[in-house]
Chain A
Amino acid sequence: MPVAIWQHITLAYSGFFISACLGIFGAIIAVRWSSLRVLLQSGSSLLQSIPAFTIVALVVPFLGIGFVPAVVVVIVTTILPVLRNTTIGLSSTDPVLIDASTGMGMTFCQMMRFVRFPLAIHPIFSGLRLSSIVANSVAVVTVFIGSGGLGAVVLEGLVRYHTPGILAGVLPAIFIALSADILLSRIERYLKPRYQ
């Protein structure tokens, strides 16, 4: 059981971590080159419109089964909220502040670091928290391509039609998701600008 929980956490949150990095990076690109914004957003919508279960089936011919394809599934299904909310957050900074920081001679990176990011903490974390929940539920479904973890416990329960067995997989998963949400809200509170 501890092994299953550990596998589940590794799977869900390594996927989540990668998609968070990719999503935030993509959002920075979308803000820097606005022509790419539409492309990135419709690309991620196109990926997201495929149900998680179908993506699980689709990656098998390309990547086979096991841990890595499962992580890819988690990334594909969680990137949209991060990308979209970060783009909105970073691009809805008060234009007066952008003008002021340009006037102070800030470079694009400095503006990101000192102006846009601090002011966009709430929207970014709203997206991240949504993604962390979705990552957790997708990590259960990926059991069908051999990712192991809590999904295996759930599947075993389902096959035997054994309700306590299903709950033994589902309850830890819910607990992990809620703890991750609380952890992210702590980080959000720590990162938000002091004056707010």
Chain B
Amino acid sequence: MTEMTVAGLSAVWTQYQLTTLTLIHLNLFGTAMIIILAIGLPLGIIAAMSSRGYLIVSVLNIIEMIPDIALLLLLIPVTGIGAAPTITAAVLYSLLPVVRNTMTGLTSFRPELIEIGESLGMTRGEILRIIRFPLSLPLVAGGIRIAVVYSMGIVTLGGIIGARGLGAALQAGITRNNMTLILVTGLWIGLLAVFMDSVAGLCERFLSKKYGDRP
């Protein structure tokens, strides 16, 4: 076990190439988030607009039911090992918060506002863009921020099935019983998750300044 000094910590950092692993980690996480946003937001809008929307949420509920580690292992026969199953699992697992919050956000406000929009002659698309979207912004952003934290967790877990990234360093620490390595990578992953969460919060603040219903 290395000593818990600055020199010891930086030795651990360079020995296990944590800078490279962090970049790989963020790459996996970023890819997963882009796919989640590209699929989750449209699915949420569809779920909110159609009367059978709850079916989409039920299917995602069943996927969410599978524990994260089991989901990773179940994907191995389908996608092999490494980055592909990790990203797939992160996407499958984080879709539910995005879809459910988008759906709730787009449907839960005073129905008069829709009627006002209709009486002004707005089309469904305009109602979505001008009324529903600004009002649902805090909740949609909240769902995305939950998804950010969830996918950070799954990408870390991907370390056990050969997706390099910080999970691999954590795994190395656990198998070698290297407490310093476990603490350094564990805390670093936690800090990265909180940082990403705050970046998402800043994006939310920017969007709500630009489009939100109040300053």
**What residues of chain A have their CB less than 8 Å away from a CB belonging to chain B?**
41-42, 45-46, 48-54, 57, 80-81, 84-85, 88-89, 91-92, 95, 122-123, 126, 129-130, 133-134, 136-138, 140-141, 173-174, 177-178, 181, 196
Chain B residues with CB below 8 A from A57, complex form: 174
Q: List 21 A-B contacts (CB under 8 A).
A: A45-B193, A46-B190, A48-B150, A49-B190, A50-B153, A51-B157, A53-B67, A54-B170, A80-B146, A88-B138, A123-B108, A126-B100, A133-B65, A133-B96, A174-B65, A177-B65, A178-B58, A178-B61, A181-B61, A196-B110, A196-B111
B180, CB-defined interface residue at 8 Å: no
CB-nearest residue of chain B relative to A55? B153
B105 neighbours in A (Cβ, 8 Å)? 123
State whether B194 touches A46 (Cβ < 8 A): yes
Which of B138, B146, B149 interacts with A92 by CB under 8 Å?
Answer: B138
**Chain B interface residue count, Cβ-Cβ cutoff 8 angstroms:** 44
Complex: A150 Cα to B191 Cα, angstroms? 34
Query: Count of A-B contacts with CB under 8 A?
Result: 118
Cβ of A130 and Cβ of B156 under 8 Å apart?
no
List residues of chain B with CB under 8 Å of any chain A CB: 58, 61-62, 64-70, 96-97, 100-101, 104-105, 107-108, 110-111, 138-139, 142, 145-146, 149-150, 152-154, 156-157, 170, 174, 186, 189-194, 197-198, 214
Q: Are A177 and B190 in contact (CB under 8 A)?
A: no
Main secondary structure of the interface of B (DSSP, over half): helix
B34 to chain A, nearest CB (A): 19
Taking chain A's interface residues, is the majority helix, strand, or loop, or is none over half, making it mixed? helix
> B67 touching A130 by the CB < 8 A rule?
no
Q: Which residues of the partner chain A approach B145 to less than 8 Å between Cβ atoms?
A: 45, 84
Give 4 new A-B contacts, CB below 8 A, not counting A51-B69, A52-B69, A122-B107.
Answer: A54-B156, A122-B108, A126-B101, A136-B65
- Tell me which of A54, A81, A122 contacts B97 (CB under 8 A): A81
Select A123's contact among B139, B150, B152, beta carbons within 8 Å. B139
B176 to chain A, nearest CB (A): 15
Chain B residues in 8 Å Cβ range of A41: 197
- Cross-chain contact B68 with A130 (CB below 8 angstroms): no
Of B61, B111, B192, the contact of A133 (CB 8 Å cutoff): B61
4 nearest interchain CB pairs?
Answer: A49-B193, A122-B108, A126-B104, A51-B157
Given contacts A45-B197, A80-B146, A130-B96, contact A52 B67 (CB under 8 A): yes
- Structural contact, A46 and B193, CB atoms closer than 8 A: yes
Which one of A130, A140, A173, A178 contacts B100 once the chains associate, using CB atoms below 8 Å? A130
Q: Once bound together, how far apart are the Cα atoms of A138 and B197, in whole Å?
A: 23
